Each structure stands twice: as structure tokens, then as C-alpha cells.
Structure 1
Amino acid sequence: MSSDLNLHIAVIGSGGAAMAAALKAAERGARITLIERGTIGGTCVNTGCVPSKILIRAAHIAHLRAESPFDAGVSAQAPVVDRGRLVRQQQARVEALRDAKYEGILRDHPRITVLHGEARFTGSRSLSVRFANGGEQTVHFDKALIGTGARPAIPKVPGLADTPYLTSTSALVLEEIPDRMVVIGASVVAVELAQAFARLGSKVTILARSRLLSSEEPLVSDAIEVAFRREGIEVLRQTQASRVDYLDNEFVVETGAGILRADQLLVATGRTPNTDSLNLETIGVETRDARVITDDHMQTSVPGIYAAGDCTDQPRFVYVAAAGGSRAAVNMTGGDATLDLNAMPTVIFTDPQVATAGLTEAEAIKQGFTVDTRSLDLENVPRALANFDTHGFIKMVAEHGSGRLLGVQAVTGEAGELIQTAVMAIKTGMTVQTVGDELFPYLTMVEGLKLCAQSFTKDVSQLSCCAA
């Protein structure tokens, strides 16, 4: 606990990092002024994780009603999609969660004061907050946390700015499913939304500057591209838009692969930090490509000013943001906390899902490890066979000699549900031998981790169904 009960902390933002910091610092005895210029709750609950996963789930249900591996015995029929009703259902859940997890908590918290306005540093211990009505207030603080998040980045494509293109934010509340959609971008947000709209009825074309999910290892990219092509999603590799026009209610996209025409154009080419209005350069806070640079204690180059979440150089996941904000609060209130991301899990909510933890083979080799790897096709996983869905794989990266597990990459149904087991194995230094010797429940996808681990020393195709 903080020994200084009069410590005053300014928190800029109200998303995952900011809320975690505010609540943890208040718990440790500090007084908090939280400043938010937009909607309370940040990206995740309002325009990110929550609405996108609702959309993806609805699209998954629509897809199964139209087509499944059991169509020979269970009748299938393409559903009628009322996108307007889906949006209203989605936004009602968003509003309920925002009130329960953000607004309601702040409204009733005795140690947190909320100011609705735009913050700007005027010194290393002071902020100016400009309100929408034109008023202004100075806030003096002892410590500060920058948790301002990020917004969709827009590429400088000729003509694009003059068109009514979609970003991930506007796409999530689009009330009609377009007949044709072109997606510029091939990273996480792009592929998740592309598949969702395709499953709800759009003919989708993805423009990938290199390949799908280029930051993942090639096996992952290839597996998702195969899945997309199987569903009729067109993937154009090594393709960029050179010009965009909007003529007669139609997007015209010029590319090296020819001219594409679409009813909607989704631009999903990454995110840019919301740091431009904070006046960081004046007070000496170091940034790189607008991202705030922090040390392993979440402190910036200015002592007493901390940062966490999507506005920093940390990986852009809400659980990383919340963990960073919480640890920053501990450090601002006299503690000593760091953020260990060595076994950080990631999940991409395509179908099949992509989930990773630890190091890829290339990353491990780059770090100086000599490695052994195994990649297990899902034909060897009983749960996948029972589901009649064997598209994908599980790959393990182990240190040569010791067998210590260094990383896992999985492309499977519900991969996100199995990856935390891999995280725990990596964090505790388990070997593939010990993973292979553990008890795993039969006919679960996570059993694939055991089977992949066993494949380092035996031919798993020759095992009985639940052989140890």
C-alpha cells in the first residue's frame, strides 16, 4: 500500500489501461483524477473486443445454419440476416457492459473524480483540461498515467480521403450487409471482420500487402488463407490499392491486380496512438512513431509520468493494457512491479481460430536457441475428428536437448481455449516430455497439446484413442 494517502494521480483515458491504473492506485490509497475526452470505456468495450466478438459470433451462427459438416443428416438453409436487429442487440450488450464495468464503477467511487474533456500537459506535474463547452481547468498532480489508446490508421492512398470508406469502428455498426466488400489490410482486425461479413452474406476481397497475418509464421498464414478460400473469400497477396474513387454509390479500387468494384470499402491497416494532442514533446516524453516509450516499470522518459496500453510500445491487447496499467499504479504508489510478456497469449478470432504463446521457431532461433519443432495435423486429434473439422494444426517449439517448451502456435477450432494451458507450461518451464505425460481430458481440443508433445518421441498415429 502507498504510504502517502494524499498522493494525487492524473489518469488520462478510461479504457483498459487507464481503468486498471485508476482502480489499483485508488485501492492503494491514492486520489485519482480521471480525464476522458470521448466515451467512457475506451476501445475494447465500445468499438473493439466486445462488439467485434458479438459480430463474429453472429456470423458463425449464420455460417453453421447455411453449412456444416453434418449437412447430410441435419438440414441446412441459408438464413435471412437482419443486420439492423443484430446491431441493436450488439449495442445493447455494449452499453450494458460499459455501464457495469466502467461508468457505474466510476460513478460510485469515492477516490476517483472524472473530468470529461481533453487533457494536455503544461508541465511535468500539470495538465490543462479543455471542456467541450469551452471551459478549461488546470490539474496539478504528483504522478500521471497516459492511457489514451489508439484509433484506426488510414493509409495515404490517393482519393481515399474523399470517399465514405469504413474503419473497424464504423463497420461494427453498419446496418446493412453489402453485396460486395473490399478490405484493405490483412492483419488481425482485417481478417476477423472480413470473414464475419463474408459469412453474413458479402462477397469479400482482401488486399494483402504481403500475405494474411504477415506477423505470424507462414504456416498460420497459409492455413487461414486456405480456410478463407474454402469459404469463397478472395485473397489477393502482394496487392495494394493505388487509388480509390467513389462513383455512383460504388467504390472503384485500382490495384496492381486490376480494378475492383465494391459497395463498401473497409480500411483495416493498423492503429495509430492517440498521443498527438497531449503536448508530450514539450515536457520531454519520448515517443517513437507516436507511441510512448516506457521502461519495464511502465515509466516514460519523464520521472513520475507513466504510460500503458495501445498508446505505448507494448503489444496491443486489452489484457496487456490492463496488466500494464495495474503495474504502473503499483509503481506510482511506491511499489515495484514489472510486466512479463515472455509467454503472452494471443488469439485471433477467425474460424479456425489462431492462438499463440511464447516464441515462434524463427524467434527462438533469432534469440540463439537451437530448437526442435513438431507440427501436428488435426487429423491426429480425436476432438477434431469427432467434429468432422480437421483443418489446421498445432505446432510446438522446444529447446534442443532439454526439451523445454518455448512456444506454441495453433490453428484450430477454439484455439483460444487451449492456449492458456500452453502459457502455463511455458511459464513454469515444462518440457515436451512432461506435457506429453500429463493427464488431458479425452475428446477436448486441448488434448492436441499432449499429442503434439508426444510426437517429439513417437508416432502418435499409432497410439490408441486415449493412450498415455
Structure 2
Amino acid sequence: MPEPTTPDFDLAVIGSGGGAFAAAIRATNLGKRVLMVERSTIGGTCVNTGCVPSKALLAAAEARHIALDSGRYPGISTSAGPVDMPALIDAKQSLVETMRAEKYVDLIGDYGWEMRQGNAVFAGTQDNPVLEITGADGTRTTVRAAQYLVATGSAPWAPPIPGLADTGYLTSTTAMELEEVPESLLVLGGGYVALEQAQLFARLGSKVTMLVRSRLASAEEPEASKALMDVFADEGIRVVRRAEVSSVRTDPATGGIVATATVSGGEQEFRAAKLLVATGRRPVTEDLNLDAVGVKTGGRGEILVENTLASSNQRIWAAGDVTGHSEFVYVAAAHGSLVVENAFNNAGREVDYRHLPRVTFTSPALAAVGMTDQQANAAGIRCECRVLPLEYVPRALVNRDTRGFIKIVADADTGRIVGITVVAKDAGELAAAGVYILEAGMTVEQVANLWSPYLTMAEGLKIAAQSFSTDISMLSCCAS
């Protein structure tokens, strides 16, 4: 029987997170027939188990910490009791469900694409790929589309440490479902998830120890690692660097966790009530049967894509975490829109990450945009850098919190700013401003002479730029 020449849909999307929705919205606006397939909960990682719930809990933990830390403001005295964890988790879940409904589920009806709950697997051939969808009731259907988008995201990954699988360890997902605050917590990892979760539970009342292979936030400036080490030390979080965990077991006497690690050449044991593994994430691709349709994957399971986000099968595209690219929901959303433009409008657009902002929501936060000092040098840029301690930023003085810095990396030959890193309250907002500075190709001199409102953290960017040519310790307030 001959194959039908007309596809059932113009675009079939596997997944329902930020990248999937951005693509479906854009394609529907172009008049395309769209099918979305989701095997689990609509909304993907960000709204369900990632950004939204974690930042909601971080905000609650910060409120408790501010109460306990009120002594830094003369004349103010407050206290905070134990955390009602079930109430906190219920409130977090209520927020998640509201945002999932308003920002995801309701939009499906508003835009009018078709949504199917089920498991989608590629079948057919490289020249004629199809999707086989198995519903919850076991019903199987076959769907043909003109174009396909894989937006299945990523999942927490645990290293193959002997004994780990038998310990019932926590991930960033399951940790946010705990019904009580652990008395003590071991955290494996030093990246953004580990940093956020370690501070979250410390501020809720856990005694936290982090086991880190190299340093905190190892992909960012070394000054950021040092600043966060100091912050965590102030808050009672123990950070053990150069720790290689060799085995993990459950203590039969206490039911707690015992981790054995090599630290600077010697073996040590670390004990805690719970263990959180935050050693990264891996793309979700293993059950998609990608080989059958000629889609190549990398060593971590990521779909290998061109800069246009096309896979090795030119009718199959990928967006978001599944590509192995930067794991931010705004990256996934940008991917989704770009895929539709390239697939249906032949736009030939490519992803440009040069000025991608990145934020870790510790408190103070870590945020950066553009190159680090090391990356600039590796790129052949003769760079000049300045690190401005927050003690020179009036807003930080008013906040009575000068923990952190602002670092600017500039091309020494042209003065053009190529990177900004900040550890400070509202660092994410400074990184957002940094996107515009880098995108415009602004120089240190230009930023040093811009208007900047007094008593804002953003004023720190101007002061940091001034420090390239001025002794900022000799400036008065608002000095231009």
C-alpha cells in the first residue's frame, strides 16, 4: 500500500516544556497544524521540578534567614522558629499548579493545537520518519509530520559510585518533596543546582556539608568561587574541596548516609541524615529510537545539532536541554522559536550564545554574561580586568551586606567589554544589563560615563568601569 503524501501534521513535538511550547505557539501563529505529545506532566522541568519550585523555596528560605540575620541592622531584633515543611511544600505545589495551568495547559486550548498524552517513539526510516504513540490505555497510533521537534529535556544524573544506588539518595527533584527538614545533609557537587540546594536546606535548618571535586561554580571566575566559599562559611555550610567520593553506604545503626571520599590524598568519611546528588543532568533520549531515523547522539545522549538546531535528519530538530546546550529555560524557548523559523520559513538562523546571561540563585546571587578572564585569554584577546569589591558600591553599604564583587573583563586594545561577573544581591539584574552592554559593543569608558541611578546595585557597573581609570576609593557619592 503506498505511503500517504499528505502528513497528518505540519509539526509534531515530543515534550511539553518551554522549548516545546515556544515552538508550538510560533508554528500555530504561522497557521501550521501542530501535535504535541507528552508522556508525563505538562510543562516540563522548569515549572514542575526546576526553576519555579526551587526559586519559590529559596525565597521562603531567604525570608527565614533574614529574620535570623536581622542583627546586622542596629535596633532590629527578630527570630525564626522551626520550619513547617509540609506547609511549605504544599504552598510550593499550589504555585506550581497555578503556573502550570495558566502558562501551559490553558494555552493549548487558546492556540488550538492538538495535545496527546502518551509515549512517542520514532519509527519508519530516515527518509520517512513517523511517530508511534502509545497512550496510557495502551492504544497505539502512528503519526506522520512534515517536521518533528524533540524537546524532551534532561533529568538528574548520578555518577556510578559504588553503593550509591542502594542509598535512596535525593535529587534536585525529590529533595523538593521532603516532608521534613533533614537534621544534616551531604551534597555531592559544586554547580548551580548544588549551590542553590545547599544554601536552601542550610537556611531551613539542616547542617550541610558539600563534597566538591574542584571548586564551587568551577565554570565561572575564581573570584566567584572564593566569594561563595566565604558566604557559605558565614552561614555554617562546610565545603570540602578536591573530594573524590569512592563509595556510599547506609549506616544500619542510624539509617543515615556514610560517604567515603579521598580528600587531598587522604581518605575520610562523611556522615549525614540524607544525601543529595547534584552532579549534573543528562538529556532524555534513550527511549526515542533515534537510530532508526538517522538521528545522531553524543556521548551523554544529547542530540547532535547544527547551529540551526537541525539534527542529522533534516526533518528532525531538537531544542532545549536535549541538545546538551546550556540548561536554561530561556535557551529552550529561544530554541523552539528558532526551529520553527528555520523549518517553515527557511530562515537559516543560528543560535548565538556569546552574550547569554547565566544566574545562580544563591544569596547573594552569582550572575555572569560573556567571557571569563580565562576564556578571553584563550580566545586570543589581550584582556584587562578590574574586580570591584562591594564595599565600594553604596547600595551594598546601605544593605549592610558587602559580600561579593563586580568584575569586568575588557579588551585591552579597544576597551570593549567582553565579560561581566557579579556576586551580589540582584546580580541577575546586573547580568541582564550586561547583555545590553555587550550586545552594543560598549567600552569601559562609555559605561563609566553613562547615567546611573544612585543607590542601585546597577550603579556598581558604572563604578567598576570607572575603576579602570580612576582610584574609586577617592570618589565621593555619585561622583562622575
Q: TM-score, normalised by structure 1?
A: 0.97
Counterpart AA for 2:164: L
The 2-side partners of 1:463 and 1:6 are apart by 68
Q: 2:474, 2:423 → 1: CA distance?
A: 23
Query: For 1:70 and 1:244, how far apart are their aligned partners in 2?
Result: 40
The aligned residue for residue 86 of structure 1 is: 88
Distance (whole Å) between structure 2 residues aligned to residue 311 and residue 335 of structure 1: 23
**CA deviation map 1:177-235 (0-9, x unaligned):** 01110011111101100001000100000000111111112111111111101111000
CA drift at 1:6: 8.6
Aligned to 1:23: 25
Q: Deviations over 1:110-159 (max 9, x none)?
A: 2x111111111113431111122222111101001110000000111111
Q: Does 1:380 align with 2:382?
A: no
Using a 3 Å threshold, how does the CA distance of structure 1 residues 5 and 458 change in structure 2: closer, same or farther?
farther
1:279 and 2:289 equivalent?
Answer: yes
Match of 1:249 among 227, 250, 255: 255
Residue 71 of structure 1, CA deviation: 4.5
Q: Distance in 2 between matches of 1:8 and 1:108?
A: 19
Amino acid at match of 2:415: G
2:119 matched to 1:107?
no
- 8 Å CA contact retained: 2:410, 2:444: yes
8 Å Cα contact 2:410/2:416 also seen in 1: yes
In structure 2, the partner of 1:167 is 171
Cα RMSD of the aligned pairs, angstroms, is: 1.4
The runs of 4+ residues in structure 1 deviating greater than 4 Å are: 4-7
Matched, 1:432 2:444: yes
Q: Unpaired runs of 5+ in structure 2?
A: 1-5
Partner of 1:42: 44
Amino acid paired to 2:57: L
**Is the CA contact 2:70–2:77 (under 8 Å) kept in the aligned structure 1?**
no
How big is the shift at 1:168?
A: 0.5
Change over 3 Å in CA distance of 1:405–1:5 after alignment to 2: farther
TM-score (norm: length of structure 2)? 0.94
1:119 is matched with 120
1:51 and 2:53 are equivalent in the alignment = yes
Aligned counterpart, 1:411: 423
Worse overlay, 74-83 or 374-383: 74-83
Asked whether 1:464 is paired with 2:476, we answer yes
Say whether the 8 Å CA contact 1:6–1:30 is kept in structure 2: no
CA shift at 1:280, angstroms?
Answer: 1.0
The 3 A distance-change label for structure 1 pair 256 and 44 is same
Cα deviation code 1:242-267 (max 9, x no counterpart) = 11112242112122252122111101
1:387-427 CA-partner distances (Å, limit 9, x unpaired): 11111110001111210110100011110111111110100
Matches within 5 A, 1:34-433: 34-68=36-70, 70-110=72-112, 112-123=113-124, 124=126, 125-246=129-250, 247=252, 248-257=254-263, 258-288=268-298, 289-336=300-347, 337-433=349-445
1:294–1:313 CA contact under 8 A, matched in 2: no
Deviation at 1:7, TM superposition (A): 6.0
Specify the SS of the correspondent of 1:114.
strand
Distance in 2 (alpha carbons) for counterparts of 1:49 and 1:422 = 22
**1:11 is aligned to 2:13:** yes
2:73 and 2:398 map into 1 onto residues whose CA distance is 15
Change (3 A) 1:272 1:244: same
Amino acid in the other structure paired with 1:417? E
Task: Give the superposition deviation at 1:78.
Answer: 3.1
How far the C-alpha of 1:466 sits from its partner, in A, is 0.1
| Percent identical | 46
CA shift for structure 1 position 338: 2.6
Kindly provide the amino acid, as one letter, of the partner of residue 237 in structure 2.
I
Q: How many residues align?
A: 464
Structure 2: distance between partners of 1:101 and 1:165: 32
CA distance in 2, matches of 1:6, 1:176: 49
Query: Hey, what's the Cα distance between the residues in 1 that align with 2:110 and 2:132?
Result: 25
Name the aligned partner's letter for residue 281 of structure 1: D
Is the CA contact 2:305–2:311 (under 8 Å) kept in the aligned structure 1?
yes
Letter in 2 for 1:324: H
Structure 1: segments with no counterpart, 5+ residues: none
Distance in structure 1 (CA, Å) of the matches to 2:71 and 2:357: 29
Task: Choose 22-31 or 240-249, whichever is displaced more.
Answer: 240-249
Question: Which letter maps to 1:116?
Answer: Q
Task: Report the AA paired with residue 136 of structure 2.
Answer: A
